[in-house]
Amino acid sequence: MSDRETTDFGKVAVLLGGRSAEREISLLSGRNVLAALRAQGIDAQAFDPAEKPLWALKDEGFARVFNMLHGRGGEDGTVQAVLEVLGIPYTGSGVAASALAMDKWRAKMVWQSAGIPTPPYQAVDTRTDWGRLVETLGLPLILKPAHEGSSIGIVKVDHADPQQLAEAYAEAARHDPLVIAEAFIDGMELTAAVVDGRALPLVRIVAPGGNYDYEHKYFSDDTQYFCPSGLPEAREARIRAQALAAFQVLGCSGWGRLDMMLRDDGQWFFLEANTVPGMTAHSLVPMAARAAGMSMETLCLAILKGAVSQHVA
């Protein structure tokens, strides 16, 4: 990249850290992005909203923002709204799409209405009839906070024991007052990265015991990743096309990641959309990008370019 091209971006803030439950991962992701941008001569600087207010971005002369804040406060439309008011272009989806994708319950409603397959689900609370829930959704069940990521607060329930179900709900509710129960899909775990209007090669995930939890996502070397996924070419093409549709129907733009399960009978189900995916050493978007011929530096540059005029006139 020429000196002219790097200076065209101006001073770039990489938002990282923050105050969400995913702060630790955001710091790891942000530092990787920071290194990739600086390697290309871009004037990129770390900015942690937990340490200073967002309006300091304007005071300090930042021209663009590369948002790597995971979870609530960074991925839910909140920071996007502030950046809109400040008039600073930023990476990723806009206010409404960010808020919708972060809300797993409402995102699933939109997918259902658009014919995008997603596991059967139900919002639950302390008044839920657990026996009827099991009759409706079957076992095993997954209980999860509606507004968390990185598998935080997710509990799998294998038995129709009301006490066990109530305890699983209580654990999920510690992280979010809105909790959903979702039918467990037994099958192959896949993820589709979307960058600049294109669905990248699928990544197939094989976690120890099928448990792709917080530890196995970010810190364990026992999880296996396959990209190319090994699926028949025609099937992968259909899944990638629908992944892009699932991303776009939520109003998402720029870049993101969709997580899904593929059953043995060939039916796939979308679990959730991530509008600020991880960019750590174990993260999936950089893996998919490498399979598409993009280095980490090229990937970060492509994402940053999308911030130039995406949301701010």
Catalytic residues: 22, 150, 218, 257, 259, 272, 274, 278
SS3 285: helix
Q: Say if CB 76 and CB 100 are below 8 A apart.
A: no
N-term to C-term CA, the chain = 26
The Cα–Cα gap between 67 and 275 comes to: 10
Contacts of 297 (CB under 8 A, 6+ apart): 36, 37, 39, 40
Contacts of 196 (CB under 8 A, 6+ apart): 254, 255, 302, 303, 305, 306
Outline where DSSP puts E strands in the chain. Answer: 12-15, 44-47, 64-67, 121-124, 141-145, 155-157, 179-183, 188-195, 198-199, 203-206, 224-226, 255-262, 268-274
Beta bridge partners of 191: 203, 259
Look at residues 180, 172, 171 and name the one whose alpha carbon lies nearest to residue 136.
Answer: 180
